[in-house]
Chain A
Amino acid sequence: MSNILEVKNLTMHYETIDGDVDAVKNVSFNVKAGESFGIVGESGCGKTSVAMSLLQLQAENGKISNGSILFDGLELVGMSENDLRKVRWDGISIVFQGAMNAWNPVVKIGEQIREAMREHSPESSKSQNTLKINELFTMVGLDSSVADRFPHELSGGMKQRAIIALALSCDPKLVIADEPTTALDVVIQDQILNEIKKVQELLGLSLIYISHDIAVIAEMTDKIAVMYAGSIVEIGPTEQVFKFPKHSYTRSLLDSTPSIRGEKKKLRSLEGEPPSLINKIDGCSFSPRCPTPTNGCKNQSIEMGLVKVGNDHYADKCCSECTSE
Chain B
Amino acid sequence: MLTNAVRNVPVNNLIEVRNLVKHFEVSSGLFSRNKKVIKAVDGVDFDIKAGETLGLVGQSGCGKTTTARSLCLLDPKTSGTVKFFNPDSQKMDSIDELDDDGIRVFRRNMQMIFQDPYESLNPRWTIKDIIKEPLDIHNIGALNDREEAVVEILRTVGLTPPENYLSRYPHEISGGQRQRVSIARTLIMKPKFVICDEPTSMLDVSIRISIMDLMLNLAKDLDVSYLYITHDLAVARYMCNRIAVMFNGKIVEIADTEDLLQNPIHPYTKRLISSIPIPDPSYKRERYQINYDELDKIISKNPDKKMIDIGNEHFVATHDTKEYFIES
- B-side interface residues, number (CB < 8 Å): 41
Bound together, the chains give a CA A40 to CA B282 distance in angstroms of 18
Out of A155, A189, A190, A270, name the residue touching B206 (CB < 8 Å): A270
Digitize B1-41: 1 where CB-to-A-CB distance is under 8 Å, 0 elsewhere: 11001000000000000000000000000000000000000
Out of B2, B176, B207, B234, name the residue touching A260 (CB < 8 Å): B234
Digitize B207-227: 1 where CB-to-A-CB distance is under 8 Å, 0 elsewhere: 111110100000000000000
Smallest CB–CB gap between B201 and chain A, Å? 11
Chain A residues near B272: list those with CB within 8 A: 186-187
Out of B1, B213, B278, B328, name the residue touching A218 (CB < 8 Å): B278
A267 within 8 A of B: yes
B79 within 8 A of A: no
State whether B277 touches A193 (Cβ < 8 A).
yes
Minimal Cβ-Cβ distance residue in B for A191: B275
Smallest CB–CB gap between A40 and chain B, Å? 9
State whether B209 touches A260 (Cβ < 8 A).
no
Chain A residues near B276: list those with CB within 8 A: 186, 190, 215, 260
Interface residues on A, range: 35 or more
Chain A residues near B237: list those with CB within 8 A: 258-260, 264
Smallest CB–CB gap between B4 and chain A, Å? 8
A292 within 8 A of B: no
State whether A258 touches B59 (Cβ < 8 A).
no
Bound together, the chains give a CA A267 to CA B279 distance in angstroms of 13
Out of B210, B280, B282, B328, name the residue touching A157 (CB < 8 Å): B328
State whether B231 touches A185 (Cβ < 8 A).
yes
Chain B residues near A212: list those with CB within 8 A: 204-205
Chain B residues near A190: list those with CB within 8 A: 274-277, 287
State whether B59 touches A214 (Cβ < 8 A).
no
Out of A43, A191, A215, name the residue touching B204 (CB < 8 Å): A43
A269 within 8 A of B: yes
**Contacts A190-B277, A264-B237 given; does A269 touch B206 at CB 8 Å:** yes
Chain A residues near B282: list those with CB within 8 A: 239, 242-243
B322 within 8 A of A: no
**Interface segment, A16-24, A50-58, A248-256, A316-324?**
A248-256
Bound together, the chains give a CA A262 to CA B233 distance in angstroms of 14
A257-278 residues at the B interface, CB under 8 angstroms: 257-262, 264, 266-271, 273-274
Out of B205, B206, B281, B287, name the residue touching A242 (CB < 8 Å): B281
Query: Which residues of A approach B to under 8 Å, CB–CB?
Result: 42-43, 155, 157, 185-191, 193-194, 212-216, 218-219, 238-239, 242-243, 252-254, 256-262, 264, 266-271, 273-274
Query: Which residues of B approach A to under 8 Å, CB–CB?
Result: 1-2, 5, 59-60, 174-176, 204-211, 213, 231-235, 237-238, 261, 271-283, 285, 287, 328
